[in-house]
């Protein structure tokens, strides 16, 4: 492709705001879409004429080509459809997109949490969708971002060496070629399973969240800092153990995955993050040190990263016969704390279209697309 790709950014959360502003300021055509039920999130952009951006990606006032709740308008003629939404919204966005996605469009989940691409694909298939598109997923959001006001975002970090995978895996090169004008530092993953089992949020967030419920629910602090206060040595050791179990699951599927600490170094080493374990990397992180802790146990740091992160990750382990006792313990703790059944309501094998499959079936699917 000689011209710049046209981007449809689906999801007007922190990541969607940042991506839309960054791409717009770098000269790309961008259509920002939000589901009609959440139109209030884009109203301030429409009223104020754009998005104010500051941080490591630059500074300016971005005016996307389109800000809309009309999915047909957002998708029409777009080259890259970037789904930048909470994992619990992937199914709804897939159903909204199904009638209007066009042949050969590339849909990229940024990120999919764990199993996002597979769940998105399954939701499309349940709608009778049969067009030829390319589905892809990134291992993480490319930005570390904070929303400062209704139309203002601060990009505190930008990841290098972020992996991308497509379904089937031989389409990954085409996805990288399409996205390279915007994101030249993306790297190809062995397959989509490598990508979806390498999302750092699912390993990083549960430990400092669930071990600091006193901070979350207590009244002694007006605010607390999630990493500076919450990532204690003990919480760091719990995250390290979650990561060891993640790597064991990956090995069962023939993947030689990098540790989360190594991924952090690749993502943010250029911005000064350093250490040998989770505690050392995050407790004094120059990028994350000002991140405020949640004030509710139903914050995404628990609900999303447990039910759409650890639940499917442990399910992949179950299929392969790999024990995940620490993941299981965190899932159970979150269920007790929030009086929920995340093993049922979260991202199950059935919701990923993997019911009845064994390890070889799943490997065949992610490698070959069927």
Catalytic residue numbers? 205, 305
DSSP 8-state class, residue 352: T
Contact 9, 32 (CB under 8 A): yes
CA distance 159 to 188: 15
**Residue 64 has what DSSP assignment?**
-
Cα 106 to Cα 18: distance, rounded to the nearest angstrom: 20
DSSP letter (8 states) at residue 142: S
**Distances in Å between the alpha carbon of 38 and those of 11, 49, 139, 281, 366?**
9, 18, 26, 35, 33
Q: Which residues lie below 8 Å from residue 279, measured CB to CB, with a gap of 6+?
A: 231, 232, 233, 235, 236, 237
φ/ψ region of 60 (left if φ > 0, alpha if ψ in -120 to 50, else beta) reads left
């Amino acid at each position: 492709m000689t011209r710049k790709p046209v981007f449809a950014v689906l999801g007007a959360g922190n990541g969607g705001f940042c991506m839309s502003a960054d791409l717009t300021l770098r000269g790309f055509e961008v259509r920002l879409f939000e589901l009609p039920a959440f139109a209030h999130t884009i109203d301030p952009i429409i009223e104020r004429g754009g998005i104010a951006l500051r941080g490591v990606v630059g500074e300016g006032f971005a005016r996307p080509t389109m800000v809309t709740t009309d999915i047909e308008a957002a998708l029409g003629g777009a080259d890259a459809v970037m789904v930048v939404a909470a994992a619990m919204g992937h199914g709804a966005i897939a159903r909204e997109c199904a009638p209007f996605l066009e042949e050969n469009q590339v849909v990229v989940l940024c990120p999919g949490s764990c199993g996002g691409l597979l769940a998105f694909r399954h939701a499309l298939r349940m709608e009778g969708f049969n067009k030829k598109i390319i589905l892809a997923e990134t291992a993480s959001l490319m930005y570390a971002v904070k929303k400062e006001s209704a139309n203002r975002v601060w990009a505190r970090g930008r990841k290098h060496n972020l992996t991308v995978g497509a379904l089937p895996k031989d389409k990954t090169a085409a996805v990288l070629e399409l996205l390279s004008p915007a994101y030249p530092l993306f790297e190809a993953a062995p397959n989509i399973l490598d990508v979806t089992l390498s999302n750092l949020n699912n390993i990083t967030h549960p430990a400092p969240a669930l071990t600091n419920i006193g901070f979350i629910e207590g009244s002694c602090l007006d605010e607390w800092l999630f990493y500076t206060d919450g990532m204690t040595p003990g919480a760091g050791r719990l995250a390290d153990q979650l990561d060891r179990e993640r790597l064991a699951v990956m090995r069962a599927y023939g993947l030689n995955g990098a540790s989360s600490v190594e991924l952090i170094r690749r993502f943010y080493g250029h911005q000064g993050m350093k250490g040998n374990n989770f505690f050392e990397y995050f407790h004094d992180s120059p990028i994350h040190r000002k991140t405020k802790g949640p004030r509710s146990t139903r914050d995404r740091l628990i609900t999303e990263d447990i039910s759409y992160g650890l639940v499917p990750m442990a399910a992949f382990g179950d299929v392969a016969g790999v024990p995940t006792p620490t993941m299981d313990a965190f899932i159970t703790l979150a269920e007790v704390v929030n009086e929920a059944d995340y093993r049922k309501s979260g991202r199950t094998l059935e919701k990923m279209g993997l019911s009845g499959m064994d390890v070889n079936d799943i490997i065949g699917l992610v490698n070959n697309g069927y």
